[in-house]
Amino acid sequence: MSMLELLQFRHSPYNEKVRWALDIKRVPHRRRSLLPGPHMGTVKRLTGHTITPVLLHDGGALDGSARIIEWLDAHHGAPALLPADPAQCEEALRIQRWFDDDLTPRIRRPVLDALLQQPGYFARIFADGAPALKRIGYACVVPLAAPLVRRGNGITGAAAIEDGHRAATEALDFVAARSAATGYLCGNAFSVADLTAASTLAVLIRPVDSPMSCPQPVARGFRALMERYARHPGAAWVHGIYARHRGARRDFDGPSEGAA
């Protein structure tokens, strides 16, 4: 069996979710970081769509983070991300679906909007780790790609941004309340529910010493967005889950032994 390959965006909730699943299971794989915009040709050739993450395996190319995680759980066992108990598994999948289909697309709108207002920083955050020339070239392309990124993500105006803030508060309230009893969102163990919620909220909370921490110094407009949620009790849950379960301090390109 040839080595798995993950095609990813550096800064993205769905990509972080799948990276985390690969890391926590210590699945050997290669990573290729793509840049939003120029990624389209590459990804479309492989899947027929343009969404990332994409996992390449012997049998083909998989997209859709939930499908990828289901495949990983079936092919690369422990630790299982889907709870063994059927009722808990259904509940964890329900939480995943709620984030994937509703909360996450709304939350990423104010995040991308703040980043697009600082094209240099947008380029840094997505091209982090790429050679300097590629980063500089990409910074020049970002203003041209911005309308496409806005359209593709439903950033249609002030109402869409406000709605994103409502979704962020809803998600943070939910994780704070749901984790109060056991520290976890579903039952008393880490599952795909925690993985999904924390990966989404990491785009706002940016846990330090994690693959979602920001390149420093953080651009001003983006820092203001992060500060808006920093003291929410849900933010403490995100930091705690990252500290206990993320198991990687940075992203990498190349073959991996799993967690850093």
Ligand X SMILES: N[C@@H](CCC(=O)N[C@@H](CS)C(=O)NCC(=O)O)C(=O)O
Candidates 9, 122, 184, 242; binder of ligand X (CB under 6 A) is 9
Rule CB under 6 A: say whether 65 interacts with ligand X: yes
Binding region for ligand X (CB under 6 A) out of 44-52, 164-172, 209-217, 221-229? 44-52
Give the Cα separation of 188 and 56 in Å (integer): 33
Least gap, CB of 36 to ligand X (angstroms):
6
Binding region for ligand X (CB under 6 A) out of 60-68, 122-130, 161-169, 244-252? 60-68
Give the Cα separation of 111 and 192 in Å (integer): 23
DSSP collapsed to 3 states, 113-157? HHHHCCHHHHHHHHHCCCCHHHHHHHHHHHHHHHHHHHHHCCCCC
Taking the least distance from each CB to ligand X, the nearer of 68 and 175 is: 68
Candidates 5, 32, 51, 221; binder of ligand X (CB under 6 A) is 51
Binding-site size, ligand X (CB under 6 A)? 14
Rule CB under 6 A: say whether 199 interacts with ligand X: no
Rule CB under 6 A: say whether 50 interacts with ligand X: yes
Please list every residue from 146 through 165 that binds ligand X, using CB under 6 A: 152
Q: Applying CB under 6 A, which residues contact ligand X?
A: 9, 12-14, 36, 40, 50-52, 64-66, 100, 152
